Each structure stands twice: as C-alpha cells, then as structure tokens.
Amino acid sequence: MSVKEKLLISACLFGVNVKYNGGNNKLKSLSKLSKKYKLIPFCPEVEGGLPTPRLPSEIVSFKPIKIVNNKNQNVTNEFLKGASKALALCRKLNIKKALLKENSPSCGSNYIYDGSFSKVLKKAQGITSSLLSQNGIKIFNENNL
C-alpha cells in the first residue's frame, strides 16, 4: 500500500469552526480528497493567536506589510506568526501542497479583500499563501482543486 501524499488544508475548508465569524467553509469534496491525500488541517489566524470568532481583518499595505481588523487594530504580528507556523509545519511534515481558502488575508492564493472593508477583491496573495509559495509549496484553493 502506498503512503498518501500530505496536503495542508485550511481548517475552515476541513469543516472546523475557525472562520472569523465562528463558522466554517467545509468542502463537499472532502471525502474524495481524503482518499488521495492525508489531510492536515491548519488555521494560520488561530495558530497566530487570534480568537474565534474575531473581527474581520484585511491587508491594508504590503510594503511594509500591515494587516488590521475592522476596528483598525493592528493584527499583523498574529498573521505573520500564523504564516511562519504554517511553513514550519510544512517543513516538519514534508508537505509540498496546500489547499487554502481563497479571498482570505492569510490563505488567499489569487484574490484577497482590498483593505477597505467594502467587500472589494483585488488580485494578490494572502500572507500565508505567499510565504508557502515563496518556499516551493504548491498552492491550490477551493475553486481550482
């Protein structure tokens, strides 16, 4: 029997209630995915020290990186810590692929919200998605499985 490849998956996509609003984004295709991969759920925002539920956050600048919640509280350090922990886990477990939640300031692989809290998307990567891809981890989202 062959060993399944490991896949880091956003915990919210796995069905864990870790979204900012306390809910999840559980994928309908989880059982199909789990036949092919050993799924490793991870939420960078929770692992970085943010509570569930929490205020919605968006990236307001990239140089320097600044992430704030909708009460203008700086949460950059928590996001950076969560991204670092995700990379450390991938290295420790030799994970080469990640399935991350699109539009998230942590996990968005193609789009994130623009920092205005007006539900406008822009083409950019979230902080965890960016760090993982810079380190050779192939990133997928729920729209491009």
Q: pLDDT for 115-135, tens place per residue? A: 999 999 999 999 999 999 999
Nearest to 57 by CA among 16, 114, 129, 142: 114
Residue 3: pLDDT over 90: no
Residue 49, phi-psi category: left (phi > 0), alpha (psi -120 to 50), beta (remainder) = left
Q: What is the pTM of this model?
A: 0.96
Task: Please compute the mean of the pLDDT values over residues 23-51 and round it to a whole number.
Answer: 97
Query: Which pLDDT score is estimated for 56?
Result: 98
Largest CA distance in the chain: 52
Query: Which pLDDT score is estimated for 55?
Result: 98
pLDDT in tens, 39-98: 999 999 999 999 999 999 999 999 999 999 999 999 999 999 999 999 999 999 999 999
Query: Which pLDDT score is estimated for 2?
Result: 72
pLDDT in tens, 85-117: 999 999 999 999 999 999 999 999 999 999 999
Query: Which pLDDT score is estimated for 65?
Result: 97
| Whether the Cβ atoms of residue 82 and residue 48 lie closer than 8 Å to each other | yes
Query: Which pLDDT score is estimated for 1?
Result: 59
Q: Quick one: pLDDT band at residue 9, thresholds 50, 70, 90?
A: very high
